[in-house]
């Protein structure tokens, strides 16, 4: 067994999850995102990694940091400790069981059944630690989908998200980030916190299960409801909305502008803001249903005016009017906007012997127990596991 120096959130003061100890057997994205969020909030997270290189995202590059670390790995592993264990070894499995005996939570995202085969399944570990909250993150559940590997791209494909992303010209498209993994990680966090709340009341631990497919179907929200309620199958509509207009991307003199005039009042403000107040009284545009029906004509009317100036001009003018809108920023411009709005989107973690590590700020604000950004993702310390 090789142990990296403790990383945790030491020195940051108690967080909301101070005292919660998590044995994190997960890797890649969904579950590590969940455990990082909880580490930010004060939980002690011990990340268990295999001896042959650790979490595979350590090798997912380029891009790399100045210290040669994968920016992918850095994105979801701050505030954690690293412990190298070979779970194929009897001795190291015994170490893992002892670790879990002193933890509140286990998180794992191996293919369904793997932890059971290793003797580290829920039944075995809750016998050692009855108050244990044991969270399993899988691709497609522990039933008939247990054998299917869980990768975000595949989940987006089979789960319907790609079918409603893109346009008729582009064909099905994946999202620009592994969104299903992130949503599943959030669901895992919610499940773990709810189970801890239950344990605080009863002393009873329990098993929490989340999977990519169920998380995606839930996150499809209105599109999923359309199908479940009516039987209709939503189709890709590019940057337009099936039920609201104008709620889409419109052309300007330079880059596109996203406009979300989602009710009659907002449409009236939009019409006035672009200097065409008469559009609000036009019978073709007087209600949302009418605007959806006459979307093509409405877009032509609006773009005839919007193309006279650039997106930043309209962002300023229409925002002043109270119209929800914004230019399509690249990621650099998005961070610049967050800075201008005072959201402090980037923190820099300083650790001895390492270059400063920039990290994206934890997204939740707390008045009494703020999130900490005190420890960079742990280095991998190679060596023989015990």
* Active site amino acids: 181
| 164 phi and psi angles, rounded to 5 deg | -110, 10
CA geometry: angle at 37 spanning 6 and 127, to 5°? 70
Rounded alpha-carbon distances, angstroms, from residue 318 to 257, 267, 281: 11, 11, 19
HSE-up (13 A, CA, CB side) for residue 329: 12
Cβ(270)–Cβ(323) under 8 Å? yes
Q: Among positive and negative, which fits the CA dihedral 92, 97, 101, 103?
A: positive
HSE-up (13 A, CA, CB side) for residue 253: 8
d(C-alpha 348, C-alpha 370), whole Å: 16
**Torsion, Cα of 299, 300, 301, 304 (10° steps):** 120
Q: Where are the alpha helices (DSSP H) in the chain?
A: 30-40, 71-74, 90-101, 114-117, 122-128, 152-158, 179-202, 212-219, 221-230, 264-273, 288-293, 295-306, 311-321, 331-340
Tokens describing residue 116:
């059971």
Residues 6+ apart with CB under 8 A from 108: 25, 26, 31, 115, 120, 134, 135, 136, 137
Tokens describing residue 65:
């940091």
CA geometry: angle at 252 spanning 249 and 256, to 5°? 35
Of the candidates 185, 145, 138, 233, the one whose C-alpha atom is nearest the C-alpha of residue 29 is 185
Neighbours of 304 (CB within 10 A): 12
């Amino acid at each position: 067994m090789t142990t990296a120096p403790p990383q945790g959130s030491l020195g940051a003061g108690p967080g909301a999850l101070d005292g919660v100890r998590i044995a994190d057997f997960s890797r890649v994205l969904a579950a590590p995102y969940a455990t990082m969020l909880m580490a930010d909030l004060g939980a002690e997270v011990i990340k268990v990694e295999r001896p042959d290189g650790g979490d595979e995202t350590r090798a997912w590059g380029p891009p790399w940091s100045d210290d040669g670390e994968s920016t992918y790995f850095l994105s979801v592993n701050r505030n954690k400790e690293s412990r190298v264990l070979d779970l194929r070894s009897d001795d190291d499995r015994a170490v893992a069981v002892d670790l879990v005996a002193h933890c509140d939570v286990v998180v794992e995202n191996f293919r369904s059944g793997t932890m059971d085969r290793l003797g580290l399944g829920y039944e075995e570990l809750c016998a050692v630690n009855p108050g244990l909250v044991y969270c399993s993150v899988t691709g497609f559940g522990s039933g008939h989908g247990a054998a299917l590997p869980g990768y975000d791209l595949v989940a987006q494909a089979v789960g319907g998200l790609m079918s409603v992303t893109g346009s008729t010209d582009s064909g099905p498209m994946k999202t620009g980030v592994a969104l299903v993994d992130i949503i599943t990680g959030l669901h895992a966090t919610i499940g773990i916190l709810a189970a801890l709340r239950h344990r605080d009341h009863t002393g009873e631990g329990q098993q929490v299960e989340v999977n990519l497919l169920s998380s995606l179907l839930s996150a499809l929200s209105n599109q999923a409801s359309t199908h479940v309620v009516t039987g209709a199958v939503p189709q890709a509509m590019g940057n337009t909305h099936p039920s609201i207009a104008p709620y889409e991307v419109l052309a300007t003199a330079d880059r596109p502008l996203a406009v979300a005039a989602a009710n009659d009042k907002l449409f009236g403000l939009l019409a006035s803001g672009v200097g065409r107040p008469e559009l609000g009284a036009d019978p073709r545009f007087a209600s949302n249903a009418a605007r959806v029906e006459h979307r093509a004509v409405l877009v032509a009317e609006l773009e005839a005016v919007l193309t006279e100036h650039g997106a930043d001009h309209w962002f300023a003018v229409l925002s002043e009017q109270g119209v929800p809108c914004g230019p399509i920023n690249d990621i650099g411009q998005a961070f610049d906007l967050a800075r201008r709005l005072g959201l402090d989107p980037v923190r820099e973690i300083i650790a001895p012997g390492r270059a400063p590590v920039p990290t994206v700020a934890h997204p939740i604000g707390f008045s009494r127990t703020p999130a900490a950004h005190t420890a960079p993702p742990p280095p991998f310390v190679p060596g023989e596991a015990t």
